[in-house]
Structure 1
Amino acid sequence: MNQEILEEAVLRPATRSALTELTNVPGVPGLATPRRAALRADKTVRIAIVHDWLVTYAGAEKVLEQIVACFPDADLFSLVDFLDDRSFLRGKPVTTSFIQKLPLARSKYRSYLPLMPLAIEQLDVSAYDVVISSSHAVAKGILTGPDQVHISYVHSPIRYAWDLQHQYLQQSKLTNGPKSALARLILHYIRNWDIRTSNSVDGFVANSEFIARRIRKVYQRDAQVIFPPVDVEAFSLCTEKEDFYLTASRMVPYKKIDLIVEAFARMRERKLVVIGDGPDMEKIRAKAGPNVEIMGYQPFKVLQDRMSRAKAFVFAAEEDFGISVVEAQACGTPVIAYGKGGALETVRDLSESRPTGMFFDEQDTESIIAAVERFDAHIKRFSPMDCRANAEQFSAAHFRERFFAHVRAAVPALRGAQLPRYVPYKADAAASAPRILAVDQSGVLGGAELSLLEIVKALRSRIEVVLFDDGPFRTALDQAGVTVDVLDAGALRHVKKQGGSLPKGAALKGLLSLVRATAKRARKADVIYANTQRAMVIGALAGKLARRPVVWHLRDIVSPEHFGGKQLAIIKWCARFGLTHVIANSAASARAFAELTQFDGKRIDVVFNGISAEPFDALRAVPQATLRERLNLPRDAFLVGSFSRLARWKGQHVLLEAMVLNPQMHTVLVGAPLFGEEQYESELHAFVVAHDLGDRVHFLGFQHDIPACMCAVDAVVHTSITPEPFGRVIVEGMLAQRPVVAARAGGVLEIIDDHENGVLCTPGDAHGLADTLAELRSNDDLRNRLVRNGYQTALSRFGTTTYVDGVARILKRVVGR
């Protein structure tokens, strides 16, 4: 299409008194036989766009986004609309069906499949001249009249009702019994309805030749193929590839990520990076070997970076199209894909002159392994420039041109219309972003407070903080330019995790005072964001009083090892009474909370803490000797650093016991007792005296400059004797480019791959810890490998951008409910 056609224009009616007869237009298969439709010359063509359901932004929604860009004045219809971010709809409102108001529709909308045919037929589009349906389920069943033109862009006929019925029944465990019989009866009804409603579609558009064949098989109709849009401009060509493979996808069964991970676990000499999250995460993580890095959900910039640098993109799903396959090629990255479905139309294999990838024939590990080995043998045949050129034919601009031309050809009244110039939509971020009241019980700068500080810095324009105690944390918040209120916790400040008795009158008075004060401030916010356990209790009560949703950022493993019985009972009650959503800092924390409270798993998200690399990178040019002199540490000793508050469960005594067995080493203890744990500190000092360790154990107390302390030591040790919820110190040690040794339990297992980016030891085992530290001291290759891989892990998986984006996205979603 010429550039002039892309100039901005509005849709204009044809200069005739009525819509001319529709005829079979050449190049537009499937159009109905001639008929007439009344449309006055002074009226614009009215267009309705119908989509199945709006709950996320995935492949079908990317098509919808471009259809809306083609027809910006069209009105939108959908069964349900539970979108958190609706910018891709250009801020348009959506007319929904009665399913929108049914119980649990947000999370269980698919369960209403038997009602969907009825629901789509109740959406009234009779006032429109043209109806465009974007359908992978029931949208094409919208009722239209004889004077309306209905064009349906079909992502697929209803998969689970047609050729994938048996696979669907097996995955849903509906192969036998009364429920199976009922499911089969419903799917039979859906099939009959699907065929009947296909007759009211004037023209079908398929997203691939594969789907066009499905349409022909199911509906006995031809379809025009218009490939879905891929934002190839968002991906830059990269000609320098690194020695790792990539796969990225939502972790659900049909994506077959588990097969890819299993295959690479058997190819230890090849590295695989996995990006994505979903229900199968734990299953996939369990199959990963040390050569497989599972990064979880990552923001677009990280995906873009890894996709650009990867040696090849591995894809094992049978997709109708497969947008990620094209995105990889847009980066100049060749593809190793399952040879079925849409990939056959988007990847040129070795049989062609300018290949962009290759295929394997079976969805199993053996086929994937053979394909990867074959790829390596022919790697010189793949050119990044060829991959990019192939991807460009699937651009969003190309889609808009073809789809608009198709609709214009089908509707005579649009023959004079021109494709509107594409202008990226920018939503008013300030207007749509929720206002947040963050609540924390402590004035001390502990790990939870440092993690909250990163959130506050990033969202300072729309966040206020309430503390129940004054101290260094309040000072840090003031320096960040955040509004802070310190409330008097009264007798409640003496409550500990492990329980204990309190004067009931004093406790009740303090509780009610904090709840009222917090609720008063919450009325000015959209969501309460509780950062600690006591803050969660106050927040849950205040949220009910102020009628605001409450999100708890869970940074503890809620188990008897960490909490007293009364505290666990209170957490369980609050979860049922006043919590809307929970953000856990690790899967270990999430599992313990779910087991204790039976909280709905769909209302629990895992977001790893984010730690900034800047303060560590700023010390790269500072000699270690200078840092040691500043901290009054021995210049030439092998120093092992422990960085934590002094508490028995943190296990500093285990490290001291290991020092007795390792006379060549020194220990640096950074931290102080924070919550009535002074007795433990005294015990540590007594142990040092009793074992004559005074000149080898260095108590530095509380330190503000943790990066400098970490860069001053030779190794970082994390010795918790009970499961750690996350292990912030571990990531900080990696950023300091120091080898890390940590206890094998809790969230630590989600950070460290043993002997790859850190070393794991049995909790409480002083002899094992001593042996590991001795090996670390004598093995330069091991130390270098741990430092190199650890630093990369910290940057890629625990960056502040990923962390802040994850929390902000969840808070916005909760407010959107």
Structure 2
Amino acid sequence: MILAPKSKLLKQRHGDAPTIVQILPAMVRGGVERGTVEMADAIQKHGGRAVVISHGGPMVRHLDRLGATHHQLDVHTKNPFRWPQVRRQLKAILSRENADLVHIRSRVPAWIALPAAAALGIATVSTVHGRFVAMSAFKRIYNRKLLKTDHVIAISNYVKDLITSQYVGVEDRLTVVHRGVDIDLFNPGNVNQTRIVNFVEGLAIPEDVPVIMLPARATMWKGHRILLQALAKIKDRPFICLMIGAGDGKPAFVSELVRLGQQLGLEGRFRLTPLIDDMAAALMVADVVAMPSITPEPFGRVALEAQAMGRPVVAFDHGGATESIRHGETGWLAIPGDADSLAAALQAALDLGPRKRKMLAATARQHIEANFSTETMCRQTIKIYRRVLDRAAANRNAKS
């Protein structure tokens, strides 16, 4: 990933590099974790020190590669009786690292970290990554903790609206920063033929058959069932559907999808595969990428990655998908929960001729470069850090 050349946007006026500490439950593979790594890189490129605190996980190695500092701590525990001990350990780490700002990325870490940061007089920022819906008074109080920071970031206008519709007094310190995609990693020109061949041969994908791809975690709200129902409505035409990540699901999840597909007459027309490491190469094989989440996506990074690779995206017309997909220009937005509408959108994408497909690819790529790059996301977040740090410094000076 290549960000802008080194800047001094985060440098303190007295010349020291501010220490920005990001806190999240764990460094497993996911959008929040990738964003944490991308921000650690940006913090250092813009003149700061990057520290991450989590329970650990496979993505810690990416932080090590960047030269960022990682501390393993049980900030993921949902047991409130353990929070005081974890909080004391966290407070010691923040003091030792001389933290200037704490960026909290999840609710449990907020309950642990905010009292520690307040006791040490450290500025705070939080990011709301998920759907912020409280179905009970208890959940409302639990969610609110993540909004008790000096500034709050929402990853989409959809998430922002969920927050402001349920909580008052947040608007003045709430900013939307859309998630970004690495436009160098997800660039058709940077994916060589060997990588594509390795992906195709690894899954024995038949030649000259259109590929419909659903890259998603193995959970039903991602829309695997309704996609199969939509595919059954267009099964008279050739295609193979690859459900990337579905193969990692529990046996009951996998069995249910296999059974439904067979009942719908789709035997041999779809495959459930594990998550893969080279998604850029996988997307090169796709003729259309589906994101049929039945529950609105807070944003949906898959849509960004697919469009960056010049692939048409089909999603339901709700949630964050509506903010990144331009209906009829870079993809299609179907009626939420409607298999017929989803089938029609898939058919429209598959019917694209070579010239229109090329035009859509160029439009989609330009759209992502202009609005949803990692560099844009990181620079906007760095500017929020700068404002919060300046405000904290002004408050300290006013008290002295």
TM score, norm. by length of structure 2: 0.85
Separation in structure 2 between the aligned mates of residue 545 and residue 680 of structure 1, nearest angstrom: 46
Which of 81, 84, 92 is the aligned partner of 1:512? Answer: 84
Aligned to 1:785, what secondary structure does the other structure show? Answer: helix
For residues 284-295 of structure 1, what are the structure 2 equivalents within 5 Å? Answer: none
Which of 351, 354, 361 is the aligned partner of 1:778? Answer: 351
Separation in structure 2 between the aligned mates of residue 630 and residue 595 of structure 1, nearest angstrom: 47
CA shift, 1:489, in A, is 5.1
Give the aligned partner of residue 282 of structure 2: 709
The letter for the 2-side match of 1:540 is L
Which of 706, 721, 741 is the aligned partner of 2:294? Answer: 721
Which of 193, 197, 219 is the aligned partner of 1:622? Answer: 193
Which of 576, 588, 591 is the aligned partner of 2:158? Answer: 588
CA shift, 1:626, in A, is 5.4
1:647 is aligned to 2:233: no
CA shift, 1:480, in A, is 2.8
1:476 is aligned to 2:48: no
The letter for the 2-side match of 1:545 is A
Q: Quick one: structure 1 residues 552 and 428, their matched pair in 2 at CA, closer, same or farther if it must change by over 3 Å?
A: closer
Which of 362, 387, 390 is the aligned partner of 1:813? Answer: 387
Separation in structure 2 between the aligned mates of residue 614 and residue 717 of structure 1, nearest angstrom: 22
1:698 is aligned to 2:280: no
CA shift, 1:625, in A, is 5.0
Separation in structure 1 between the aligned mates of residue 84 and residue 294 of structure 2, nearest angstrom: 36
1:527 is aligned to 2:98: no
Q: Quick one: structure 1 residues 662 and 726, their matched pair in 2 at CA, closer, same or farther if it must change by over 3 Å?
A: same
Q: Quick one: structure 1 residues 489 and 549, their matched pair in 2 at CA, closer, same or farther if it must change by over 3 Å?
A: closer
Give the aligned partner of residue 394 of structure 2: none
CA shift, 1:713, in A, is 1.5
Give the aligned partner of residue 798 of structure 1: 372
The letter for the 1-side match of 2:343 is A
Aligned to 2:59, what secondary structure does the other structure show? Answer: helix
Q: Which structure has the higher relative contact order (CA within 8 Å, separation 6+)?
A: 2
Q: Quick one: structure 1 residues 564 and 726, their matched pair in 2 at CA, closer, same or farther if it must change by over 3 Å?
A: farther
How big is each residue's C-alpha offset from its partner over 1:22-43, in whole Å with a ceiling of 9 and x where there is no partner?
Answer: xxxxxxxxxxxxxxxxxxxxxx
Aligned to 2:272, what secondary structure does the other structure show? Answer: strand
Q: Is the 8 A contact 1:761 1:768 kept in 2?
A: yes
Which of 112, 126, 149 is the aligned partner of 1:579? Answer: 149
Separation in structure 1 between the aligned mates of residue 380 and residue 251 of structure 2, nearest angstrom: 37
1:567 is aligned to 2:149: no
How big is each residue's C-alpha offset from its partner over 1:400-423, in whole Å with a ceiling of 9 and x where there is no partner?
Answer: xxxxxxxxxxxxxxxxxxxxxxxx
Give the aligned partner of residue 258 of structure 1: none
Give the aligned partner of residue 487 of structure 1: 73
The letter for the 1-side match of 2:121 is R
1:440 is aligned to 2:30: no
CA shift, 1:589, in A, is 0.9
Q: Is the 8 A contact 2:232 2:265 kept in 1?
A: no
CA shift, 1:720, in A, is 1.0
Give the aligned partner of residue 451 of structure 1: 35
Aligned to 2:80, what secondary structure does the other structure show? Answer: helix
Q: Is the 8 A contact 1:520 1:546 kept in 2?
A: no
Unaligned runs of 5+ in 2: 392-400
The letter for the 1-side match of 2:306 is G
The letter for the 1-side match of 2:11 is A
The total of aligned residue pairs comes to 375
Q: Is the 8 A contact 2:313 2:331 kept in 1?
A: yes
Separation in structure 2 between the aligned mates of residue 557 and residue 612 of structure 1, nearest angstrom: 24
How big is each residue's C-alpha offset from its partner over 1:343-387, in whole Å with a ceiling of 9 and x where there is no partner?
Answer: xxxxxxxxxxxxxxxxxxxxxxxxxxxxxxxxxxxxxxxxxxxxx
Separation in structure 1 between the aligned mates of residue 293 and residue 124 of structure 2, nearest angstrom: 30
Separation in structure 2 between the aligned mates of residue 480 and residue 799 of structure 1, nearest angstrom: 19
1:662 is aligned to 2:234: yes
1:541 is aligned to 2:115: yes
Separation in structure 1 between the aligned mates of residue 273 and residue 28 of structure 2, nearest angstrom: 17
The letter for the 1-side match of 2:108 is R
Which of 325, 331, 351 is the aligned partner of 1:758? Answer: 331
Q: Is the 8 A contact 2:76 2:108 kept in 1?
A: no
1:606 is aligned to 2:201: no
How big is each residue's C-alpha offset from its partner over 1:98-129, in whole Å with a ceiling of 9 and x where there is no partner?
Answer: xxxxxxxxxxxxxxxxxxxxxxxxxxxxxxxx
Q: Quick one: structure 1 residues 472 and 693, their matched pair in 2 at CA, closer, same or farther if it must change by over 3 Å?
A: farther
Q: Quick one: structure 1 residues 656 and 533, their matched pair in 2 at CA, closer, same or farther if it must change by over 3 Å?
A: farther
CA shift, 1:438, in A, is 0.4
1:464 is aligned to 2:51: yes
Separation in structure 2 between the aligned mates of residue 719 and residue 713 of structure 1, nearest angstrom: 16
The letter for the 1-side match of 2:295 is T
Give the aligned partner of residue 398 of structure 2: none
Aligned to 2:82, what secondary structure does the other structure show? Answer: helix
Give the aligned partner of residue 304 of structure 2: 731
Q: Quick one: structure 1 residues 555 and 710, their matched pair in 2 at CA, closer, same or farther if it must change by over 3 Å?
A: same
Separation in structure 2 between the aligned mates of residue 791 and residue 544 of structure 1, nearest angstrom: 43
Separation in structure 1 between the aligned mates of residue 72 and residue 358 of structure 2, nearest angstrom: 46
How big is each residue's C-alpha offset from its partner over 1:11-70, in whole Å with a ceiling of 9 and x where there is no partner?
Answer: xxxxxxxxxxxxxxxxxxxxxxxxxxxxxxxxxxxxxxxxxxxxxxxxxxxxxxxxxxxx
For residues 200-599 of structure 1, what are the structure 2 equivalents within 5 Å? Answer: 429=11, 431=15, 433-460=17-44, 462-468=49-55, 470-488=56-74, 492=78, 507-523=79-95, 524-560=98-134, 566-575=138-147, 578-599=148-169
Separation in structure 1 between the aligned mates of residue 76 and residue 70 of structure 2, nearest angstrom: 18
Separation in structure 2 between the aligned mates of residue 815 and residue 791 of structure 1, nearest angstrom: 35
Separation in structure 2 between the aligned mates of residue 427 and residue 559 of structure 1, nearest angstrom: 35
Q: Is the 8 A contact 1:629 1:635 kept in 2?
A: no
Separation in structure 2 between the aligned mates of residue 453 and residue 441 of structure 1, nearest angstrom: 14
Separation in structure 1 between the aligned mates of residue 132 and residue 125 of structure 2, nearest angstrom: 16
The letter for the 2-side match of 1:485 is H
Q: Quick one: structure 1 residues 531 and 690, their matched pair in 2 at CA, closer, same or farther if it must change by over 3 Å?
A: same
The letter for the 2-side match of 1:429 is K
Q: Quick one: structure 1 residues 772 and 428, their matched pair in 2 at CA, closer, same or farther if it must change by over 3 Å?
A: closer
Which of 341, 351, 354 is the aligned partner of 1:768? Answer: 341
Give the aligned partner of residue 393 of structure 1: none
How big is each residue's C-alpha offset from its partner over 1:762-804, in whole Å with a ceiling of 9 and x where there is no partner?
Answer: 2221111111111221221543333221110111111122111
CA shift, 1:645, in A, is 0.8
Give the aligned partner of residue 746 of structure 1: 319
Aligned to 2:164, what secondary structure does the other structure show? Answer: helix
Separation in structure 2 between the aligned mates of residue 612 and residue 805 of structure 1, nearest angstrom: 13
Of 543-552 and 695-704, the range deviating more from structure 2: 543-552
Q: Is the 8 A contact 2:107 2:145 kept in 1?
A: no
RMSD value, Cα: 2.7
Separation in structure 1 between the aligned mates of residue 247 and residue 111 of structure 2, nearest angstrom: 24
The letter for the 1-side match of 2:266 is L
The letter for the 2-side match of 1:657 is Q
Q: Is the 8 A contact 1:659 1:665 kept in 2?
A: no
Give the aligned partner of residue 42 of structure 1: none
The letter for the 2-side match of 1:614 is D
Separation in structure 1 between the aligned mates of residue 252 and residue 231 of structure 2, nearest angstrom: 21
CA shift, 1:574, in A, is 4.8
The letter for the 2-side match of 1:519 is K
The letter for the 1-side match of 2:368 is A
Q: Is the 8 A contact 2:106 2:146 kept in 1?
A: no
How big is each residue's C-alpha offset from its partner over 1:156-190, in whole Å with a ceiling of 9 and x where there is no partner?
Answer: xxxxxxxxxxxxxxxxxxxxxxxxxxxxxxxxxxx
Q: Is the 8 A contact 2:107 2:146 kept in 1?
A: no
Separation in structure 1 between the aligned mates of residue 88 and residue 252 of structure 2, nearest angstrom: 36
CA shift, 1:433, in A, is 4.9
Q: Is the 8 A contact 1:526 1:815 kept in 2?
A: yes
Aligned to 1:641, what secondary structure does the other structure show? Answer: strand
Aligned to 2:367, what secondary structure does the other structure show? Answer: helix
